[in-house]
Structure 1
Amino acid sequence: MSRETGQDNHEHELEVGDEDRLPWLEAVEEDEDGGGGPSVAKLIAAIVIGLVAIGVIVGGLFWLGNRNQQGGNGEIIAAPEGDYKVRPENPGGMNVSGEGEVAAAASAGATPQGNLALNAPETPVTQAPRPAAPAPAAPGPTAQAPAPQPARPAPAPAPAPQRPAPAPQQPAAAGPGGTIQLGAFSSQAAAGQAWGNLSGRFRYLAPLNHSVVPVQAGGRTLYRLRASGAGAADVCRRLQVAGEACSTVG
């Protein structure tokens, strides 16, 4: 009987202990996340601090922008009633003569009363006599110019010395190398110019003796350019290879 009563009391104590257990006497349970992340309270505090800092910055900028502005309500100032300018009873100052003239009255806004006396007699205007022009002085004696002497006749120009006509060049004697013909031209000068061009371009042509031979052909005179000397035939062949006109004539 006593054993059963003890067991009942023990069970009752266990039941009372489970229900009436004080929370601060219990062991603290560890967080499942391990406490690695920020808490909600810290996050809220950071947000509040940021908002306060932004408000301070905005307020400071607003104060800096409006600190030099003067206060006022922006109302329109009404003009006072009455005349803008009032003439004083005693203006004082200096009295200027001529205020009663027409010009002064017209400038003050009055209408001038001007009338022309059309019936007044005309008074002739007398002009002062002009001073007489001084008489021209008598011309003094002028020195007589010497009589012009007769011009001497210009001497007749001396006749220009006549240059002798250039004798036509004799054809070069055919040497041991023969004679070649380089072309026929309309004038002796053109033939000489052609020789200068050819001998300048082809150095092997310069040692030969050149000559200009006039001939009659078809009613006009032509001038044949020829050259002779040792190796003339060989020179002619080299000129033909270079594309120049050349022929052996002797």
Structure 2
Amino acid sequence: MTDVRAGDATPFEEDRLPWLEAVEDDDRGDGPSALKMIVGVLIALVGIGAIVGGIFWMNGRNAPASGEIELIKAPEGAYKVRPDDPGGMAVEGEGDTAFAASAGQDPKSNINTDAVPESPVGSGAQPQPKASGDAGLISAPPPTNVPSTNAPATTGTPPAAAPAGPGGTIQLGAFSSQANATSAWKALSGRFTYLAPLSHNVVPVSAGGKTLYRLRASGPGAANICGRLRVAGETCVNL
């Protein structure tokens, strides 16, 4: 019980005990407020909507405007147009033998028999003597030729020259006419000068109901000449 003293407010005022006073509600809690929670939910919904809308927008750009496929129309005019130059582009070297052979044409090439070496032509130059290590030495004079007592007596008639080679007759081909055979002889003797010493003749023969004209030549060295003609690619037969 409290004492009532002079100077107090009221003598009948009850003492206020601290445990009898009303406790005020403390709104300052540790968790977020309801307003902040509502604002956060709205922001999250807006973000999700933006992401979903962006995905649909990207897919809509790649998709066609409509469900039907657009057909490409052909240009007006003829489908095939004849070119101004039907022959095509001119290729360098076209018309040469290589192009003709690749196209299946006969190039009609002939072997150049003129390239075969003919009779050797001697040069008038004298061979120069080779210098030797003994050039400074004095050579002895050649021995004097002493006539042999056993040598046969010579006569005034010189010995006959040896033949140039085996003779005989050769055949250079068979032709359809005598004129062709004569022309062939002129061509061969003009190309191969070693045929000039031989004498030629044309012999007609019948074979299979037809008359052929054989070109033949004879003379010294005919067999050797025939061999040289075969090396040059010509037809020649020894008879």
TM-score calculated relative to the size of structure 2: 0.31
TM-score calculated relative to the size of structure 1: 0.29
